[in-house]
Amino acid sequence: MAEILDLDAEVLHTYLSDVTAWLEELAGDQPPRWILDLGSGTGTGTFALLERFGEANVTVLDISPQMLHHLRNKACALGVDERVHAVQADLDAAWPALDTVDLVWAALSLHHMADPDHILAEVFNVLRPGGLVAISEMDFFPRFLPDEVGLGRPGLEARIHAALNGGPAYDVSAHLSRAGFTLEAKRPFVIDLRRPLPAATGRYAQVSLRGLRGRLDGLMNADDLATLDILIDSDGSDGVLRRDDLTVRTTRTLWVAKRP
């Protein structure tokens, strides 16, 4: 998990820059000085926000001590360790005591929570009046392969996603409203990366597709699974590590709401 999160940050750096630039616009003449990152993982959002808001400090909350250790090491390597305050916490349980913050960031984490309404009630309490909460969710899992990939039958990746059938995209608007927030904006960010791609793209595709492969037994035919195994495991030109025709395509939606 730590590797896929780090790869996500590296490959989607342009997207993260666009998101934080938009948040800077919405913050106007009150840039955040204290930020709270919920379910921070390895710090993808943390470090993008610190880069954008040069005077800010970030408190990161995550249930995993391993993730927080990884994040602290990255903060030291980047020279921002004094601006990062790591707290281990189960967000579905009682929250630790926190100081008031100006911005709360939750990236691809709210849908993992047992009770999103409880989470956002806690966010409301810790956020200053007029402060912003920014929540991003993935509309669909990233796609990497050309449409023609498939053993005698094009469209392998489309069949993978149809087999897993994640259902409709997660929407947090109603949760925000019930918690007392005023929705300021909802914006989809379309990610469509083409050549030249970041150097880590092949590994990003490999790790991502390997994660999907573990859920596909019994859901796809043997030829499709064999083709996917070659794509993931081959060190040759037919494996994703060496293919020169990869892309990265997905959409992430960002909700930004204000505490009245």
83: left (phi over 0), alpha (psi -120 to 50) or beta: alpha
**Sign for the pseudo-dihedral over CA of 76, 77, 79, 85:** negative
Instruction: Kindly report the CATH number that applies to the domain delimited by 2-141+167-195+248-258.
Output: 3.40.50.150
Retrieve residue 241's tokens: 């590590």
Check: CB of residue 71 under 8 Å from CB of residue 60: yes
Check: CB of residue 107 under 8 Å from CB of residue 136: yes
Determine the Cα–Cα distance for residues 44 and 42; give it in Å rounded to an integer.
6
pLDDT above 90 (res 112)? no
Q: Domain residue spans in the chain?
A: 2-141+167-195+248-258
Q: What is the pTM of this model?
A: 0.94
Check: CB of residue 33 under 8 Å from CB of residue 6: no
Using one digit for the tens of pLDDT, what is the confidence trace for 141-175? 999 999 999 877 899 999 999 999 877 778 999 99
Using one digit for the tens of pLDDT, what is the confidence trace for 34-73? 999 999 999 999 999 999 999 999 999 999 999 999 999 9
